[in-house]
Chain A
């Protein structure tokens, strides 16, 4: 078999992997929604790509529009990097099925790394950049400037993709590596946002301007950076294939936490321990959980120290996101991790009900984190006490009951320790996510309009308190409906296990 035939076979297998996913056929609406969302974002980016240069009329304060955009290059790079966590698998994971076959590992690595570099995902920003370049670069520098500038951006995203692969692979080894991009990006942001002295504006602008002028040195520089990152990834990924196959996990726990303080709550305490241990001892869940906690802190710090979100709507939205972020990402897939051991749970009487209680208490307790993080903002008067209380109670008492409905409908097992790159969600989860983000704002605005400030937030708090006081009733209702759908759900959990 030639290398080309082998490459085609691997590509076909990768396509089949997605097509034959047990959830693939069951989620036609989700596929439609996914495409719709891609088109939606593409349309927004296109619109921005057109509107921005038109708004600046070619220049902004005497500076060419594309120079202004180039000055903010770091923001694009950082956003692009973190978005990849949702979408991109590492070559080590992709190559795993072939690891013990008579295929040269170096060939596999080169295939997957090259595909990562040439991935269409690296062109996604093109929806914004192409119209922007057409309106802002072409009129000033002609077609050579247009192409040179766009190729420059593309090379930056390719390099960023390899940087992501490097970090992501290290994170599989140990989660602590997540600190590396946080420090690097934090440093870059600090340099960008330093009062009265943006240290990166000029270098970024110069780099992109030289791309647009089609000077050779920026292309050579980026080619060298990409080649270096490719080589580093190659070495690292080769090592990781062995780890993926051998799964050299930590064999012994360093600290087997007993959490004895929960013993006083009897069976419920045991399920609370289970919930805590699930978050702490499984890489995927832990990474997701810590990332969300990190985002809460980041948003609160941004709100406190900067004025970038100081308009009323954005402040309200960021505060709300602090509260619902966790629910939107983790509770939306409630029971999916339990799909790994659902048979064991189902062979114990009312264990699902107890588990639901534990999840509710645990996630409600976690809401105290954003509440405390927002207290300093209350102290300096950036947000009101009622806003903080309103979102706290509304999330626990109204949004969580909505989220917990997913326990009835979720039937896809999520791996506890592997990355969820190609996960197929379902349309109900998407709808609930949207409701979580916009329902509180809609209710708050409605009552503020009717009764004035701060009645919108007071109503949110009141509705939340009602929901909280009824939690026993709605949790049992969810449990009863789960039991009615148990066969369908258990079949789904079994079918999607180990995918």
Chain B
């Protein structure tokens, strides 16, 4: 699924949060979004997910879904929700459910069978490290890292063609960070899904994203080709990492 961003602008009062003339994310691409706090990463994700209203411009998703060509503006229809999975923050989680219940809820409202769900969760057993399933713990009683895992797994549960994860490495222990990198890369290769992640962790972003967009004050100031890992030096230079 291609994502076309055109003349997209969002301001909060005087502050410009996002201002992108034109940007295209190609089908099957893994794009990393980096930038300092307040650069506009989360706002851009929320605009793509139609969770906030753009002052100007549009986000379109163009491609094939269920053997049909689609070309839609995300603010005009809900169709894109069928092929998009996302986890931005805790407001995506229903915290009075257990992880099992939450996964079942997502699966059932999306028309996935119980067997499908079990198969899917089986693949993520290593990532969940036996701390989520069958625990009888409500999501609100989980640690921040485990909440993050619930969010990521539920976003991927639909096997979406577009996957959007805001700061997926936050709160995760090193083993889980490594596991999620592996899972995302594998998912991208197997399904050809378009994956967008934002992160403050340059190393992880460079490791898994062949393309990286650098945001500053709402503008994409650099579109870096990282197909052979050359973005590391450029990013370190920008962020003045010693």
Contacts and interface: CB of A to CB of B under 8 A. Distances in A.
A347 B109 contact: no
Q: Which 3 pairs, one residue from A and one from B, show the smallest C-beta to C-beta distance?
A: A487-B53, A344-B92, A349-B81
Given A347-B92, A349-B79, A491 B52 contact: yes
A278 interface: yes
Contacts of B109: 267, 270-271, 348, 351, 354
Contact of A273 (B49, B86, B105): B105
A183 B21 CA distance: 68
B91 A497 contact: yes
Given A277-B97, A282-B96, A487-B52, A252 B81 contact: no
> Mostly helix, strand, loop or mixed at chain B's interface?
loop
B98 A347 contact: no
Residue from A249, A340, A354 with most neighbouring chain B CB atoms (10 Å): A340
Interface in A463-477: none
Contact of B108 (A270, A282, A487, A494): A270
B78 A350 contact: yes
Nearest to B114: A263
> Mostly helix, strand, loop or mixed at chain A's interface?
helix
A340 B82 contact: no
A247 B110 CA distance: 34
Interface residues of A, number: 35
A253 B84 CA distance: 32
Contacts of A497: 91
B207 interface: no
**B-side interface size class:** 35 or more
Contacts of B137: 251-253
A256 to B, nearest CB: 5
A276 B81 CA distance: 26
Interface of B: 49-53, 78-79, 81-82, 84, 86, 88-89, 91-98, 100-101, 104-106, 108-111, 135-138, 140-141
A340 B91 contact: yes
Nearest to B104: A270
A274 interface: yes
Contacts of A344: 91-94
Contact of A347 (B84, B101, B136): B84
A348 B108 CA distance: 12
B96 A278 contact: yes
A341 B86 CA distance: 13
A251 B98 CA distance: 11
Nearest to B100: A256
A354 B141 CA distance: 27
Given A253-B98, A274-B105, 6 more contacts: A249-B141, A252-B135, A266-B108, A277-B97, A344-B91, A349-B78
A6 to B, nearest CB: 33
A75 B155 CA distance: 55
A256 B84 CA distance: 30
B91 A256 contact: no
Contacts of A282: 96
A33 B86 CA distance: 42
A347 B51 contact: yes
Contacts of A487: 52-53
Contacts of B135: 252
A282 B111 CA distance: 28
Contacts of B86: 347
A349 B105 CA distance: 14
B80 to A, nearest CB: 9
Nearest to A349: B81
Nearest to B135: A252
